[in-house]
Amino acid sequence: MTKGGDEKQGEDTASKAATLFPPMNDVIGYKLRRAQLAVFQDFLASFAKLKVRPAEFSVLVLIAQQPGLKQTEIADQLGIKRANFVALMDSIEKRGLAERRKSDSDKRSHSLHLTPRGAAFCRKMFAVWRDHEDRMIARLGGDEERARLITMLDRLAEPGG
């Protein structure tokens, strides 16, 4: 076969493969990723003054909601590797927002607690989050649409689908 024939065959194979896939705008994973980027961009802009990233936000919320949880419990709930969580917690602790305390029952583990500064910071963080969340709900079309989206995302996230 000539070089030109090989190129033609490659083009035919590529065009056949292209017809197997739907347009990207019809791909769930693509649309979820685009939506996540839009939500995260708004989040990052909203929280820029507080210098809070989404992972730090999540950790602080869990500590505020459930003081005394172990590092491993929070890391597991958030799906963060333990080594990465330690670095994340180091950063939060350096800012004076939370602290590790030795567990009374297991000296090898640490429970996590907000500091007074961290509790005040979380109150500010909540107000910023509320505005961010309200913007996202408005973009969805209201509380009912938000609830529908949450239900669908929960279905996708269930183990074994």
Domain 29-157 is of which CATH architecture? Orthogonal Bundle (1.10)
pTM given for the model: 0.81
Determine contact, residues 31/23, Cβ cutoff 8 Å: no
Determine contact, residues 101/111, Cβ cutoff 8 Å: yes
Q: What is the pLDDT along the chain (161 residues), one digit of tens a residue?
A: 555 556 666 566 666 766 788 888 889 999 999 999 999 999 999 999 999 999 999 999 999 999 999 999 999 999 999 889 999 999 999 999 999 998 777 777 889 999 999 999 999 999 999 999 999 999 999 999 999 999 999 999 988 75
Per-domain boundaries in the chain: 29-157
Q: Tell me the C-alpha distance between 66 and 95, whole Å.
A: 20
pLDDT of amino acid 105: 72
SS3 for 26-50, per residue? HCHHHHHHHHHHHHHHHHHHHCCCC
Structure tokens at 72: 């491993």
